[in-house]
């Protein structure tokens, strides 16, 4: 089976490629990645060392490239495209929405169009619970919840979901959309809450908590998400949307306190800062369709997933040091300076 994975050098994409190559002997994976600040080819160094000759190929390129993408689809005759590539950080989308529209909307459109013309038999588009907007204190998102995105990031993801839907209905492209809650695990870039908190705690520096710290996210260990995407690839129904969640609703303060406890740090490191504009209050995912149709449920508890995640970061301190390039500092310094002001 020939797979085109986009964004495979990012957090979830690199976990997905490692999982798939370990789980299946008959795969050839082409990873198309632009290597933005969030993409790191070293996330797949072990895969490159072991599979480069026959089962894994890296292509440095942009999903928006209207020459490269059709050419790859012609050359490799893919059985499926899995679109992980995206600008993924909500705060950056507030700071500058343009790259989000370019990659998440136009890039997805370019992939869909090339897949249509090449007659690709399966297209899995990786999306997010954030397209549903924000919940009150009760209830859960289902696949039938109306889309109500609140940030430039989630608006760009909702737009790409709608394009995927349109390509199924108009052209019959066999598209499946997956929507997942907040992931955590190895290789997550330290701009997101969990690795950022670990990084600051390990340095005994203040941990920025937005607003009152009581916003709720539904946390899922990244391997559970990867197995959901795998199940959607093999067993999903074209045209369907599948939700994945971790059954682990936590306030941000609960998450931060867990990391402080597991790293032996004091709660005095918690620093309340100005809230994120338009901050969604609560997410929670119902995933009964994924269980019924795909046989999928999350396997990792929050406690188990967090223990594995922190052990990985502790064992990979050089990775954490390396990804904090000039571009990382530039955004982080100005964003958090504004929050404290
Ligand atoms: P990430 O930011 O860690 O990685 C994104 C990857 O895409 C990087 O390797 C980057 O270089 C690449 N990329 C960006 N623009 C590109 C372009 N124009 N062409 C080719 N490659 C490009 O993101 P992530 O957290 O791994 O998220 C992956 C996907 O999963 C995204 O579509 C995101 O919306 C979705 N998602 C993420 C979460 C989460 O909690 N992180 C939850 C649900 C859904
Ligand atoms: O829900 C799925 C989404 O989860 C994905 O689609 C996104 O790609 C991914 O980035 C993530 O979005 P969030 O905005 O929920 O994740 P983040 O880690 O940025 O923030 C989690 C919560 O923690 C959120 O309520 C904001 C808060 N937060 C975040 C940071 C970075 C803080 O309080 N302080 C911080 O410094």
What CATH homologous superfamily does 2-249+277-323 map to? NAD(P)-binding Rossmann-like Domain (3.40.50.720)
Q: Residue 273 CA: which ligand is closest?
A: 2
- Tell me if residue 208 falls in helix, strand or coil: strand
Q: Residue 250 CA: which ligand is closest?
A: 2
Mean pLDDT of 146-175: 98
- Tell me if residue 308 falls in helix, strand or coil: helix
Q: Smallest Cα–Cα separation from 219: which of 271, 144, 283?
A: 283
Regarding pTM above 0.75, the answer is yes
Pair of tokens at residue 288: 């009964």
The residue whose C-alpha atom lies closest to atom 34 belonging to ligand 2 is 209
CB 324 within 8 A of CB 277: no
Based on the residue annotation, tell me whether 130 is a catalytic residue of this protein: yes
Residue 325 has pLDDT above 90, yes or no: no
The residue whose C-alpha atom lies closest to atom 25 belonging to ligand 2 is 215
Pair of tokens at residue 32: 């198309």
Based on the residue annotation, tell me whether 129 is a catalytic residue of this protein: yes
**Residue in 193, 280, 339 to alter for ligand 2 test, most ligand atoms within 8 A of Cβ:** 193
Helix axes 152-171, 108-118, angle to 10 degrees: 20
Could you tell me which residues come within 8 angstroms of residue 34 by beta carbon, excluding any fewer than 6 positions away? 60, 61, 62, 63, 85, 103
Based on the residue annotation, tell me whether 328 is a catalytic residue of this protein: no
331 pocket-lining for ligand 2 (C-beta < 6 Å): no
pLDDT for the residue 52: 62
**Residue in 6, 8, 11, 151 to alter for ligand 1 test, most ligand atoms within 8 A of Cβ:** 11
pLDDT for the residue 125: 99
Residue 327 has pLDDT above 90, yes or no: no
How many Å apart are CA 141 and CA 90, to the nearest integer? 19
Mean pLDDT of 121-143: 98
pLDDT for the residue 18: 96
Mean pLDDT of 218-235: 98
Catalytic residue among 33, 129, 161, 280: 129
Pair of tokens at residue 160: 């790409």
How many Å apart are CA 141 and CA 287, to the nearest integer? 9
Q: Residue 40 CA: which ligand is closest?
A: 1
| All structural domains of the chain with their residue ranges | 2-249+277-323
Centre of ligand 2 to C-alpha 318, Å, is 24
Residue 163 has pLDDT above 70, yes or no: yes
252 pocket-lining for ligand 2 (C-beta < 6 Å): yes
């Amino acid at each position: 089976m020939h797979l085109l994975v986009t964004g495979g050098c990012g957090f979830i994409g690199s976990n997905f490629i490692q999982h798939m190559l370990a789980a299946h002997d008959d795969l050839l994976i082409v990873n198309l990645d632009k290597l933005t600040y969030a993409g790191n080819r070293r996330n797949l160094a072990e895969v490159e060392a072991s599979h480069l000759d026959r089962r894994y190929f890296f292509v440095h390129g942009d999903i928006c490239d209207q020459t490269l993408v059709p050419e790859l689809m012609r050359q490799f005759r893919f059985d499926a495209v899995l679109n992980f590539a995206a600008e993924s950080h909500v705060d950056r989308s507030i700071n500058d929405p343009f790259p989000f529209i370019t990659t998440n909307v136009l890039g997805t459109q370019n992939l869909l169009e090339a897949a249509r013309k090449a007659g690709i038999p399966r297209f899995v588009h990786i999306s997010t619970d954030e397209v549903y907007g924000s919940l009150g204190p009760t209830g859960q998102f289902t696949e039938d919840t109306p889309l109500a995105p609140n940030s430039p990031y989630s608006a760009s993801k909702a737009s790409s979901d709608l394009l995927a839907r349109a390509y199924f209905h108009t052209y019959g492209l066999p598209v499946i959309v997956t929507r997942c809650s907040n992931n955590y695990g190895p290789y997550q870039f330290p701009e997101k809450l969990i690795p950022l908190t670990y990084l600051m705690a390990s340095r005994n520096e203040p941990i920025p908590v937005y607003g009152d710290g009581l916003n709720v996210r539904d946390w899922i260990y990244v391997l559970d998400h990867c197995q959901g995407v795998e199940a959607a690839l093999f067993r999903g129904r074209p045209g369907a949307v599948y939700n994945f969640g971790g059954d682990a609703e936590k306030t941000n303060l609960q998450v931060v306190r867990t990391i402080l406890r597991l790293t032996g740090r004091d709660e005095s490191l918690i620093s309340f800062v100005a809230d994120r504009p338009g901050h969604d209050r609560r997410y929670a995912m119902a995933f009964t369709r994924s269980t019924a149709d795909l046989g999928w449920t999350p396997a990792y508890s929050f406690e188990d997933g967090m223990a594995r995640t922190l052990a990985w970061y502790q064992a990979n301190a050089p990775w954490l040091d390396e990804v904090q390039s000039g571009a990382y500092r530039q955004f982080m310094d100005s964003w958090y300076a504004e929050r404290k002001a």
